[in-house]
Structure 1
Amino acid sequence: MGTLPRSGLIMQEEAEAWVMQLGYAKHPIAAALQHRVFLLFFALNLAVVHAGPGHRGGGGVPSVSCRVVAEKEKEMTPRRLPKRIILVRHGESQGNLDMSAYTTTPDYRIPLTPLGVDQARAAGRAILDVVSSCSGAGGGGGGANWKVYFYVSPYERTRATLREMGAAFPRHRVIGAREECRVREQDFGNFQVEERMRAVKETRDRFGRFFFRFPEGESAADVFDRVASFLESLWRDIDMGRLEQDASCETNLVIVSHGLTSRVFLMKWFKWTVDQFERLSNFDNCEFRVMQLGPAGEYSLLVHHTREELQRWGLSPEMIADQQWRASANRRSWADDCSSFLATFFDHWNDHEDDDDDDHGEENGKINKLLLLE
């Protein structure tokens, strides 16, 4: 580890030389940490200068240093969220058409059918309309300055879907594309013998779709773990500004993946329970669902989509109420005003008779109001 400079005032060159002695600068997280250390040195140095010679502490130094660090970090790392996160299932594949294809062809090599190619092209045009139309469905379209960034599963059918979708977009509108293994299909176990897989899936239905692990494969719970890891990386990409080139640009993320993986993504993002997940319907081929940023900074399916669509997808009244709140208010107000999904976990409360009944009545009234389907 580097030796801290002994001089009374820490110069910029000394601070940078010291943090670089740690040797981790090539790693983005370590580099960011090193920069924070440098900012702290810079702030303390500035505080000593402001305090004057002979200063030996006092109330002014911490306030100056903390303020400088906070202001510097705010300037460096403003969080600008993508306007939309769009989840797309691949087009019709040969495996969707004929289950016996999995017997001789590895799952990751299954191609699109001609219909799947047409579906992908249509999905590209539809997504282009969503991100570029100023009067898009649900209000709040893209305006003139918008761009897209793509994540794609490494499977042949998802990559082919992305290729066909990409034909709808002008080159200058595409920030980039990245293959992401963590949004791949659930692993059903190498070559899949049709008769055996039929029996295994019947067992899965009895056992429970989320926790059942396919022989030599994965469970939906395993998919959840890797999707959670992907989301951590996604937030890092957002925080470090990797997904945008222009602060005035409206960014849209498009994730081309698979039906179960996309449902697990929504489950993780919106904190749905296992029971709620198992009630969800699958995406159709090339169907996409739009998580759009609401005015208070929360993503919701109800900014772009309708209540009727969410009902068809299997969302319960409580889940739809949560989406409605996210579309119009921030998470803190939701937590304060409406304790979401509490009835899922609790049947009885230890409320005493001397509790304020008016407060309970007001809270229940807010929840019931959100649950009304207009």
Structure 2
Amino acid sequence: MHPKPNLANHSTLSVLPKRIIIMRHGESRGNLDYSAYTTIPDHQIPLTDVGLAQAQDAGSRLRHLISTASYTDSWRVHFYVSPYARAQSTLRELGRSFTKKRIIGVREECRIREQDFGNFQVEERMRAIKRTRQRFGRFFYRFPEGESAADVFDRVSSFLESLWRDIDMNRLHHDPSHDLTLIIVSHGLTSQVFLMKWFKWTVEQFERL
């Protein structure tokens, strides 16, 4: 996110979020068995029982982190979540650790979905494609019928611009007396690209991750 040059004098400085937390979804069926992608669309891949437990534990840890790091008891959270099933399930489980008054909003955001690897994925073909990606370069290699990390970078950049406008125009309806934490529940590659954009990493730095 690129703050405006006059941010120090901006009238909304007092309502900037205290922190942004980026979270990857819990363990999914695809993490355990890649063949799941041959019969289940990527966006419908569910969490495993372990993944559900991880999300519950993450919620407890997040609440402890936010509550102990806030100077007052008046803290709030706002969630942005990928539309993929595994991210939605992660949000539902970790959200159990927060009371309704603590959550000022939840927004499904399609631009922070997983990198598109194509439709139903043939396991052996995908293994060969990923070997080719390693030789070609992870950032610019575009999956057949899918996306490159560079494509993900473009949509994450668009999301960050919208995120800044949400903050700048107080579309989140954030009371400035409350410490606000934004929590983004997304995916591994998307989170890396988010950090690349935020910290202005080069392509070479991304490739070394």
User: TM range, normalised to the smaller chain?
Assistant: over 0.9
Listed one character per residue, the Cα deviations across residues 161-191 of structure 1 (whole Å, up to 9, x for unaligned) are 0000000001100001000000000000001
Q: Which of 177, 189, 204 is the matching residue for 1:260?
A: 189
CA contact (8 A) 1:86 1:252 kept: yes
Q: Distance in 1 between matches of 2:71 and 2:22?
A: 17
TM alignment of 1:111-130, pairs within 5 A: 111-130=46-65
CA contact (8 A) 2:174 2:180 kept: no
Partner AA of 2:122 in structure 1: V
CA 1:202–1:224: 2 relative to 1, 3 Å: same
The alignment's TM-score, normalised by the length of structure 1, stands at: 0.52
Listed one character per residue, the Cα deviations across residues 338-370 of structure 1 (whole Å, up to 9, x for unaligned) are xxxxxxxxxxxxxxxxxxxxxxxxxxxxxxxxx
SS in 2 for 1:169: coil
1 or 2 for the larger relative contact order (CA 8 Å, sep ≥6)?
A: 2
TM alignment of 1:284-323, pairs within 5 A: none
The RMSD of aligned alpha carbons is: 1.3
**Aligned twin of 1:78:** 12
Query: Could you say which structure has the larger radius of gyration?
Result: 1
User: How many corresponding residue pairs?
Assistant: 200
Q: Which of 34, 42, 45 is the matching residue for 1:107?
A: 42
Partner AA of 1:265 in structure 2: F
SS in 2 for 1:120: helix
CA shift for structure 1 position 243: 2.0
Listed one character per residue, the Cα deviations across residues 189-239 of structure 1 (whole Å, up to 9, x for unaligned) are 001000000000000000000000000000000000000000000000001
Q: Distance in 1 between matches of 2:160 and 2:174?
A: 21
Gaps of 5+ in 1: 1-72, 135-140, 281-374
CA contact (8 A) 1:100 1:194 kept: yes
The sequence identity of aligned pairs, in percent, is 68
CA shift for structure 1 position 143: 2.9
Q: Distance in 2 between matches of 1:119 and 1:163?
A: 12
Gaps of 5+ in 2: 1-8
Listed one character per residue, the Cα deviations across residues 70-93 of structure 1 (whole Å, up to 9, x for unaligned) are xxx96xx52321001000000000
SS in 2 for 1:133: helix
TM alignment of 1:280-359, pairs within 5 A: 280=209
1:212 aligns with 2:141: yes
SS in 2 for 1:168: coil
Q: Distance in 1 between matches of 2:206 and 2:72?
A: 34
CA 1:164–1:142: 2 relative to 1, 3 Å: farther
Q: Distance in 1 between matches of 2:77 and 2:17?
A: 9
Q: Which of 67, 90, 109 is the matching residue for 1:161?
A: 90
